[in-house]
């Protein structure tokens, strides 16, 4: 009898929590912006990211970033277009592959890069996104994503970034999805004299 009571109680608790989760998601309306950001769609799954080359400059006085990110990847199927990600408050200046400027469009935080010819499945390819802007500032890092622009005790700039929950695309162009991470990354960050980037 006691065993039946406990089993019934556990079943009611677990069942109730399941219905509470269903109710939560029924009330939440997912937007197109959510889908573009969170879905591992065909324009993300059509290429395998191998590495990035980052070459950026940080200007603490203006709270400004500028530079370029090169994507090195291989096509997992024949493709003419891929998705990269960069928060919409950051400006894309140009996208190139070799000496060719590529066409692109933006939708929310997504960048859709178009190639002039089909990239064949299994082929290696690369493209570079030149960009600039003032990255979002964290209001309460690390709980709120963004840059932290502070001064140390000697009044030198102290700069940090919290992006675990929001994604690296809040400050640099990348394939911002956990299903495809780079194997490596070459990082070159220029900062004013007297400062060190760690």
Q: How far apart are CA 79 and CA 119, in angstroms?
A: 5
Distance of CA 37 to the CA centre of its chain: 9
- In this predicted model, what pLDDT tens digit does every residue of 25-79 receive, in sequence order? 667 777 777 777 778 899 999 999 999 999 999 999 999 999 999 999 999 999 9
- Start-to-end Cα distance in the chain: 64
**Which residue is listed with tokens 């950026």?**
56
- Output the pLDDT for position 31: 79
**15-29, 98-112, 148-162 — which is least confidently predicted?**
15-29
Question: Is the predicted pLDDT of residue 173 greater than 60, yes or no?
Answer: yes
Q: Is 97 exposed, middle or buried (0-12, 13-18, 19+ CB in 10 A)?
A: middle
Count of residues for the chain? 198
CB 111 within 8 A of CB 87: no
Mean pLDDT of 158-170: 87
- Output the pLDDT for position 73: 98
Q: How far apart are CA 145 and CA 56, in angstroms?
A: 20
Distance of CA 48 to the CA centre of its chain: 15
pLDDT, greater one: 96 or 144:
96
pLDDT, greater one: 195 or 184:
184
- Output the pLDDT for position 4: 76
- Output the pLDDT for position 145: 86
Mean pLDDT of 98-124: 97
pLDDT, greater one: 57 or 165:
57
Closest CA relative to residue 128, chosen from 70, 177, 186: 70
pTM for the full predicted model: 0.83
pLDDT band at 17 (very low <50, low <70, confident <90, very high): low
Question: Is the predicted pLDDT of residue 9 greater than 70, yes or no?
Answer: no
- Output the pLDDT for position 158: 92
pLDDT, greater one: 191 or 198:
191
DSSP 53-72: EEEEEEETTTTEEEEEEEEE
Question: Is the predicted pLDDT of residue 107 greater than 80, yes or no?
Answer: yes
CB 19 within 8 A of CB 27: no
Residue 73 burial (CB count, 10 A): 23
């Amino acid at each position: 009898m006691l065993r039946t009571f406990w089993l019934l109680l556990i079943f009611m608790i677990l069942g109730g929590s399941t219905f509470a989760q269903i109710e939560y998601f029924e009330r939440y309306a997912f937007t197109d912006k959510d889908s573009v950001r969170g879905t591992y769609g065909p324009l993300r799954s059509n290429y395998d990211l191998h590495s990035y080359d980052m070459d950026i400059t940080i200007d603490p006085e203006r709270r400004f970033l500028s530079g370029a990110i090169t994507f090195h990847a291989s096509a997992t199927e024949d493709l003419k277009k891929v998705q990269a990600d960069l928060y919409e408050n950051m400006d894309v200046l140009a996208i190139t592959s070799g000496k060719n400027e590529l066409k692109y469009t933006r939708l929310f935080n997504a960048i859709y890069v178009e190639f002039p010819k089909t990239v064949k499945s299994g082929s290696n390819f690369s493209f570079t996104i030149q960009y600039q802007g003032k990255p979002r500032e964290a209001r309460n890092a690390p709980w709120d994503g963004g840059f932290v622009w502070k001064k140390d005790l000697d009044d030198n700039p102290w700069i940090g970034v919290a992006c675990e929950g929001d994604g690296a695309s809040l400050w640099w162009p990348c394939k911002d999805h956990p299903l495809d991470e780079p194997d490596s990354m070459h990082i070159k960050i220029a900062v004013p004299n007297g400062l060190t980037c760690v």
